[in-house]
Structure 1
Amino acid sequence: MSIDPHPFPTYTAEDYAAWKGDWELWDGVPIAMSPSPFGRHQSVVAKTVTHLTLALEASDCHATVVSELDWIVRSDTVVRPDVMLICGDPPDTHQRATPALVVEVLSPSTQANDRGFKRTLYREQGVATYLIVDPIQETVESIHMDAPGAASTVVSSMKLTVCDHCEIDIDAARFFPKRRPA
């Protein structure tokens, strides 16, 4: 008697397109994305999108920053990074090409996934830079995925070359809402 190497059903991006609710699809396995992120998480996502967009505009770079957009990696894998920087215009539907930069904002329920499966997936797919943003500690880890060992470094600012020729300046403090005195 042989053992089925896939005891659970696997799904495709086509199946995924018909599902209700928030999901990702990892190697054919559905991953629930609920509950929705908390307010601080969403505020950090919004600030990150704004800062990256302004940095692109300042360098006159033909690229787009999107959030909460499905990236169809392959027929059995669909992820929804918090933020992606895409070379050129935004896609008409979902993202299919590898983004130049991916940002994940940590949540207690997703941080193991962001540091594990997604980090590995993004490296395998050729994402040049992966930023992991911690909204509680207010830190930004930069991982240059093409560097040997792809070690993460906590950064306060950085210059990134994206889309082959655009250099953008990033001030990590701009990713976080300013705290108001009580």
Structure 2
Amino acid sequence: MKDKTIRIISPTVTAIVAILDAAVLGYGIFAVVKLVQQFSTMSIIFAVIEVFALVVAILVSKEVLSNGVVFRDDEAEFTGVDDNNIITYDEIAEIEAYKDTAASLTKNFDMRHALIMFTTKDKKVNTIDLGIVQNSTINKILDEFKRRTTTESISFTQIKKAEIFTKKTSENETEEETQTDQDSKAE
């Protein structure tokens, strides 16, 4: 199959970076005007700071726009993640995606992040944090995994993030109770 890239661009982060880029450009215009009006040490320092700010703005904008998932013949790579970012299709047993959609004024931005959890055939779980993304982006990623893997268990659930962890905790408690019952019967 041909390599395919799906960009993971958060509308919120894109808006914030665009505002910061506009501020850098505004500061650049101010620095050039000051340099032309009054050639002094301070105006030169302004211009040097502006050059550094432009370089940082270009690098940050490039990073925001380059994040995504690259689907290759035998693996997928999440380019915005540093660790455990390459997923081999043959190792996937289950894929679960979660996104918090509950309304709340008390939640931080990190509580709104979408998660994709890969369970491998040897029962290891690899969680990828996609950030604040739209549902359509998550669906595109999952559809591409459906095309490229033999995994039947691929799901996307929109729930409160706190429920993800309580669900896992209640399952663990049930397993512990079952293990305790089995241990007491063995004695």
TM-score (norm 1): 0.22
By relative contact order (CA 8 Å, sep 6+), the higher-ranking structure is 2
Question: Larger radius of gyration, structure 1 or 2?
Answer: 2
TM-score (norm 2): 0.22
Q: Point out the structure with the larger helix share.
A: 2
